[in-house]
Amino acid sequence: MRNGRSHSNETRPLLLANARVIDPSCGADFHGDVFLADGMVKDAGFGIAAAGIPDGAEVVDCAGAVVAPGLVDMRAFVGEPGAEHRETLASASHAAAAGGVTTIICQPDTDPAVDDPAIVDFILRRARDTAVVRVHPMAAITKGLEGHEMTEIGLLQAAGAVAFTDGHKSIMNAQVLRRALTYARDFDALLVHHTEDASMSQGAMNEGAFASRLGLSGNPKAAETIILERDVRLVGAARSRYHAAALTCAESLEVLERAKAAGLPVTASVSINHLSFNELDIGAYRTYFRLAPPLRGEEDRQALIRALASGLVDVVVSDHLPQDVEGKRLPFSEAEPGAIGLETLLSAALRLVHSDQVDLVNLLAALSTRPAEILGLDAGTLRPGAAADVIVFDPGLPYVLDPASLKSRCRNTPFDEARLDGRVLRTVVAGRTVYEYV
């Protein structure tokens, strides 16, 4: 059995030849080559290799594998600072590279929370020194993630925060969120909000008949939809950019559709977990499926897939949330919610392509081009002059996920021993190969 290998090498021109080239930023899907040099995409087209190999270039025969922009994951928890036993910037970046993620957007719910420019600077410096992929922090909307006092959005943005969120917490005070939206508008800053009413979301799983049979407390879908509906009304008044962090149900999609139809600057993500599983996967209290927000019913999962295929949902995220063994080896209702996902994001998403539910170009757009556009990053495209953040993957290569092979510090994956089709063969960041499947 072959194994993944993370490494760095000298930056030299790289010609990815004989590939299926997909660039969602322009709808391109053709057989050809991609040439990278000086940390940038120099060219992507047909016959680059036939016209002559540039001097000193490394040539990789992709043998028909897909070459596409690297993935941009908008929602990943990294435990640094404060929870390095769960994940570090280094370990998360190696997991990301193995999964084809070339840009991680890390969340502010660390210890201390990312609510001060000095902490933004710390993360950027640590990422520069230890990570093999690009890392951009989101900063907190409120100090200490407590939902009361706003942070200094302008200063945090100047320090390098690419967006603002309170992570896995909703801001329950509507006046605080209204002020934050108004303030963010002046800086053209993006607010990313977790939409769950705290007073209604204390249950262990989705509210319904299955929860009753398991004897577990339920978390109703209304907890999500009520907050989203409120937020959309506030956005309508403030007219600032807003992104719903992780929608899970059909009722929320109706709210999102109305907001977009009204021309509001609203976008949304869904997690790969909610596209892949439903509440029945919990089975006999399997805590790897204990998530927040919880897995919903199959009808909601299918609605999310249709929304992704139609473009109503903009982005697919890993919602990477490492938990150690002590946090998961507990009764279901007491276990910590969350799952790792950076390394399996693409492989799991390709299931939707293999089942003919989502087109591959549209899927890659939701994993790379759209999040880059929403965040204003130089990523998600193969246009000449763009950053050379590129992946090579075989969409049909089958494997069984061995949790022991994962690069994250934790193993809480719901894809434990799952059969997956499609894996990353090479990940390139700024023209440098940072992962190769050998």
Peptide bond preceding 293 in cis form (omega within 30 of 0): yes
Q: Which helix (H) or strand (E) holds 423?
A: strand 419-429
Residue pair 6/434 in contact (Cβ under 8 Å)? The answer is: yes
Q: How far is CA 156 from the centre of its chain?
A: 22
Using alpha carbons, select from 316, 309, 438, 297 the residue that is nearest to residue 368.
316
* Alpha-carbon distance values, 104 to 29, 108, 132, 330, 375 (Å): 25, 13, 11, 30, 12
Active site includes 319? yes
Q: Which phi-psi region, left, alpha or beta, contains residue 380 (left: φ > 0; alpha: ψ -120 to 50)?
A: left
* Interstrand relation of 432-437 and 4-6 (parallel, antiparallel or unpaired): antiparallel
Q: Are 221 and 207 spatial neighbours (Cβ–Cβ below 8 Å)?
A: yes
For the chain, give the number of residues: 438
Q: Which two tokens stand for residue 345?
A: 């994001």
H or E stretch including 192? strand 191-193
Residue 333's contacts (CB-CB under 8 Å, 6 or more residues apart) are 204, 216, 217
Q: Cα separation of 357 and 336, whole Å?
A: 32
Catalytic residue among 23, 109, 319, 394: 319
| Residue in 132, 146, 245 with CA at minimum distance from that of residue 196 | 245
Catalytic (active-site) positions = 319
